[in-house]
Amino acid sequence: MKTLLSHGYYKGEIVDLPTPEITDDGVLVKICYCGICGTDQDLFSSECSFVEDGLVSYPARLGHEWSGIVEKVGKNVTEFKKGDRVVGDNGISCEQCEDCLSGHFEKCIHLRNVGTIKPAYDGAFAEYFMIPARHLHHIPDGMSLKEASLAEPFSVAYGGIKHMNINEKSVVAVIGTGCIGMAAIVLAKALGAKTVVMIGRNPEKLKVAQRLGAEIINNTICDVKAEIDKLTNGNGADYVLECSGAKETFKQAISIATFKGTVALIGFYEHKENEVNIDNIVSKALTLVGVMGAIGDMAGALRILKNNKLDFSPIVTDELPFDDCIKGFTRKNYPNSIKTTVKICEE
């Protein structure tokens, strides 16, 4: 099968490798789409702390944002069959530790990361991908395979959303116009939030947020706190999802949150921060939650999306054929891309 191998330092190639052997509990999936994540770009370029910290072995098999069609199931698998449309978790549990044996595989301490850092599990930039059935999810009816390839970033956004009690009175602010920020908008809208605001700096990407139903604030030309105060009669946002991972936006998130608000920090900052006015957090009685992609959150995200009426296909801004996908791994080639997806096999 055709497989992308990344050698790091901007080198990669598509090679022919054996199709994975199916296990009794496994499902072999024909991959239709696989999105290129910022982490894939970091690992492809080797310009990231993961490589400095020795957490990547090359050649690496990347890809954790995929959707596909079941090709074959192992003999113990009953809940999936050939032809089912599926997506999967970004971590693979060991099935041997105490947590796995009691069914809590989301707590597994031996979790392998799909297509990213050590301990890694071979990723999905390949024609076929083998995954234990316990990590697989059905795609809701009416959702295209291309949209479904966003299920993993949606699960990361859901990791923040699940700490919030969003309802028709809520004001939700999202900082960061990447894929996870856009996913947060869609989930907040689907949960009925009164107002959803996207804060970012790229006008093209802000336009997409607007298409998804968000108010927009360009933080390079506006005083964000003043704009949020205008929208909320000075109360601030009930919930803030900080998805951009920058020092300034962290401060912004704290400053625009309402009294007793919740701020979710989604994604890595990759540096230490010691200029934060902690008293701002204390005096506003804020709840701060750290969020990273966790297995167990995909089902929750899909549950919300199942009833969602919003067309979120504008999040996929670019599509590349598999044979020509390598250019998608270099950020500067697609400065206005929110999500570049790779078409791998025909549906």
Binding site for Zn ion (CB under 5 A): 37, 93-94, 97, 100, 108, 110
User: Rounded to the nearest whole angstrom, what is the least distance from the CB of residue 64 to Zn ion in the complex?
Assistant: 6
Decide whether 252 or 339 has the Cβ nearer to Zn ion: 339
What are the backbone dihedrals phi and psi of residue 237, each rounded to the nearest 5 degrees, phi first? -85, 140
Smallest gap from Cβ 170 to Zn ion, in A, equals 26
CB of 90 to Zn ion, least distance (A): 7
Residue (261 or 328) nearer to Zn ion, CB: 328
Name which of 82 and 110 has its Cβ closer to Zn ion: 110
Measure the CA–CA gap between 27 and 151, rounded to whole angstroms: 18
Of the pair 108, 264, the CB lying nearest Zn ion is at: 108
- Nearest residue to 264 (alpha-carbon basis) of 346, 338, 165, 193: 165
Residue closer to Zn ion (CB basis): 126 or 166:
126
CB of 6 to Zn ion, least distance (A): 15
> Which residue has 């602010």 as its token pair?
173
At its nearest, how many Å lie between Zn ion and the CB of residue 115?
A: 9
Measured from the CB of residue 93, what is the shortest distance to Zn ion in angstroms? 5
Long-range contact set of residues 193-198: C-beta below 8 Å, sequence gap at least 24: 193/166, 193/167, 193/168, 194/168, 194/169, 194/170, 195/170, 195/171, 195/231, 195/232, 196/172, 197/171, 197/172, 197/173, 197/228, 197/231, 197/237, 198/174
Q: Which is nearer to Zn ion, 31 or 256 (CB)?
A: 31
- 213 contact partners, CB below 8 Å, separation of at least 6: 185, 189, 196, 310
Give the Cα separation of 280 and 255 in Å (integer). Answer: 8
